Amino acid sequence: MTSALIGNYARYDIEFERGEGVRLWDAEGNEYLDFLSGIAVCNTGHCHPQVVAAVQEQAARLLHVSNLFYTAPMVRLAERLAERSLGGGGKVFFANSGAEANEAALKLARKRRRGGRFVVLHGGFHGRTFGALSATPQETKQAPFAPLVPGFDAVLPEAAPDAIGPETAGVVIELVQGETGVHPLPVELVHAIRAACDEHGALLIVDEVQTGMGRTGTLFASERYGIRPDLMTLAKGLGGGLPIGALVAAPEYADVFAPGDHGSTFAGNPLVTAAANAALDVIDDPAFLEAVRERGTLLTEGVRELPGVSDVRGAGLMVAAELSVDAPELVKRALTEQRLVLNATGPRTLRFLPPLVVSEAEITDALGRLQALLA
């Protein structure tokens, strides 16, 4: 559509101009059913009325003052996240994205254990900046930018407990590995990693950028697993559609950073934190989260019954299916023939990340559109 953008994205030739709930409309007025949510960002749906109202009110009041000062939305969001996660009592650093939140976590862990190494898992994804990319052991993503940041030991997930030692500064994990095809880590493995971190004094860094904010049916996936991370990173669904990231540090590690150790010009500004507070108001509700779990079961069971599906994985409304057909081609056909927005994470892997406000009828509708393509 334009030659003015750097070509680092394989964009579809569609321009969206409006969204509401689980629906999108393109510039020609065509309506689409969105089962991608801007890649797990619009958890409250497109243009949720509470988020829109919070943004409109805050935009007319105050947009930016820098992190040399406090603002009420920033303070409120930090207090809520600190109270609601890691058993309470922790502290929050705001960033602008998941990669930035992960960079902050890596820096905090490395400052705490100077010269320490990181254990990271094959199949994980933690961002595109140099530190976060170094924690993402995927050859196609890393190779063009080598040499990367030293000190990262990539292991298969099942080998992680034995890879942790006294020299380990931190272990970086996704409880459900999202970008490589929605692979939940076994509960017993996660507890073994937690125990090994405790034994050797390493920090357990849980990347909840995609799994957080209700995506798996609890506010944070760590609640499903019954573990307490030392550091937790958030982004994507936190801002209700606006860019924000956060690092939450448990109380015993909350004061590792001193003034000047780390920072960000725009992070935690009043506009995005007002939006995040509104999104949190919607999502952190027991009835809402119960509905996510119920809708997740409905989606998973429905996908399992589609023709050519050999495996279904996921948690809550974070679901993937292995297909007998070409997944990227199916995604293209779903978009152009059925106006259904989906995502392929591999040659045969289809990913579903609908807004958490999706209804049973919309799930049935999406499954019907896929059935028409796969039959």
| Measured CA distances, 257 to 140, 194, 206, 228 (Å) | 33, 23, 19, 21
pLDDT, residue 100, reads 98
- The string of pLDDT tens digits covering residues 192-226 is 999 999 999 999 999 999 999 999 999 999 999 99
Residue 125 falls in the annotated catalytic set: yes
- Summarised one tens digit per residue, pLDDT across range 217-268 is 999 999 999 999 999 999 999 999 999 999 999 999 999 999 999 999 999 9
How large is the greatest C-alpha to C-alpha distance in the chain, in angstroms?
60
Q: Is 207 considered catalytic here?
A: yes
d(CA 268, CA 264): 9
How many DSSP H helices and E strands does the chain contain?
13, 17
Helix (H, G, I), strand (E, B) or coil at 11: coil
Indicate the CATH number for domain 51-283.
Answer: 3.40.640.10
pLDDT, mean of residues 152-162:
98
**Catalytic option among 118, 125, 257, 352:** 125
Task: Name the band, by pLDDT with cuts 50, 70 and 90, for residue 375.
Answer: confident
pLDDT at residue 287, as a whole number: 98
Domain residue extents for the chain = 16-35+286-374, 51-283
pLDDT above 90: percentage of residues in the chain: 99
Catalytic residue among 35, 94, 152, 207: 207
CATH number for region 16-35+286-374: 3.90.1150.10
State the Cα–Cα distance between residues 346 and 350, nearest whole angstrom.
Answer: 7
Say what the pTM is: 0.96
Respond yes or no: is residue 266 known to be catalytic: no
Mean pLDDT of the chain: 97
Active-site residue identified among 152, 230, 236, 352: 236
